[in-house]
Amino acid sequence: MKEMELKYGCNPNQKPARIFMNGEDGLPIRVLSGRPGYINLLDAFNGWQLVRELKKATGLPAATSFKHVSPAGAAVGLPLDETLARIYWVDDMGGLSPLASAYARARGADRMSSFGDFISLSDVCDVDTARLIKREVSDGVIAPGYAPEALEILKSKKNGNYCVIEIDEAYEPEAIERKQVFGVVFEQGRNDLNIDHDLIANVVTANKEIPDGAKMDLVISLITLKYTQSNSVCYAKGGQAIGIGAGQQSRVHCTRLAGQKADNWFLRQAPQVLNLQFVDGIRRADRDNAIDVYIGEEYMDVLADGAWEKIFKEKPPVFTREEKRAWLDQMEDVALGSDAFFPFGDNIERAYKSGVKYIAQPGGSVRDDNVIETCNKYGMAMAFTGIRLFHH
């Protein structure tokens, strides 16, 4: 098949819509269930590239959760400890396969943003992963294959309308890519940059020590940024992205947005949050929203108007600003990647508040000395990659 008609483009008024291949080759995908839309396929193709590169770089199964052409989360298949299993709502599922663990991490980093995601998997989807996907609100999944039982589980989702795509694992696109904007054709070489440990070898700070685990996290952050709408910054820890700031015009706004998401990820592990008692039958999405409100400053208003009674079995104590700061001060050894250079040391100051110790960025700012000096003040190790990773 060389062409697939779509219901519409980005919006319902944008018709006709299709995807197609020039030349002799057919489309590299098969739709096994459902009907993907224009944005679904943009997410699927970007996400597939991301997880394929994560698998190549780390040797581990990888997953990503995409929304509107940027990842909400990305991770490799490391085991989950008890706390992560609880905050990702998978502690009732028993031991998960590596691929399922990767998706639990990718989905769990920023669950509010992942609501209604499109999933990409580096490996054949197994039953554990399908069962996890089945219970989440999601638009679809792309993978190089599906175990028979896993496919049946996914086909039953959304009354048979869940989008399941199989991609040809051997497919490689042309070296030149093109797109059209306002009737004008843009052409450029495909970004086939290989991201691995060699890219972070040039450590420019006084602290030169980057342990292997942090190197993996830096590689994960950089590969994630390669497929994130720019400007973008990614915080990573323990084999997964924990905060992604995408599509911001200012670099420091990326750093703040991603840092806030990383903070929320860590605050969800605090005893005050883990001990929350929800009313019976509450949906996971409602729990996620309630936790976000509880962590936020506006929770005092919720306590005041009595809305907590619809969510919690008993009135939770206020999680004070001082308590949150004390908990966040325990977050450490976080890795941070940036798709372009940091122009000012204020980015480093903000990153430090979220436990960042390892940084990878292109370098090349006229204020590199100031950025390095700020890193040295906090004992951070920073590598200059020399490579920009803008993605649009």
The pLDDT tens digits for 31-40 are 999 999 999 9
Helices (H), the chain: 38-58, 82-87, 98-108, 111-114, 127-134, 148-155, 212-226, 251-267, 271-274, 284-295, 299-305, 321-328, 346-353, 368-377
pLDDT grade for 56, boundaries at 50, 70 and 90:
very high
* Helix or strand run (H / E) with residue 340: none
Residue 23 has pLDDT above 90, yes or no: no
Give the C-alpha separation, 269 to 210, whole Å.
26
**Is 315 marked active-site?**
no
DSSP character at residue 103: H
Contact between 210 and 381 under an 8 Å Cβ cutoff? The reply is yes
Residue-averaged pLDDT of the chain: 94
**Is 253 marked active-site?**
no
Q: What is the mean pLDDT of residues 198-213?
A: 97
**Is 197 marked active-site?**
no
Q: What is the mean pLDDT of residues 180-188?
A: 94
**Is 392 marked active-site?**
yes
More confident position, 300 or 1 = 1
Report pLDDT digits (tens) over 259-315: 999 999 999 999 999 999 999 988 888 899 889 989 987 676 666 666 778 888 888
Answer whether the bond into residue 40 is a cis peptide, omega within 30°.
Answer: no
Q: What is the pLDDT of residue 302?
A: 63
More confident position, 24 or 102 = 102
Residue 145 has pLDDT above 90, yes or no: yes
Least confident window among 248-257, 302-311, 352-361: 302-311
Q: What is the mean pLDDT of residues 133-152?
A: 97
| Given the residues 40, 46, 231, 347, the one annotated as active site | 231
| Given the residues 68, 197, 253, 353, the one annotated as active site | 68
DSSP character at residue 257: H
| Given the residues 46, 55, 67, 226, the one annotated as active site | 67
Q: What is the mean pLDDT of residues 177-194?
A: 94
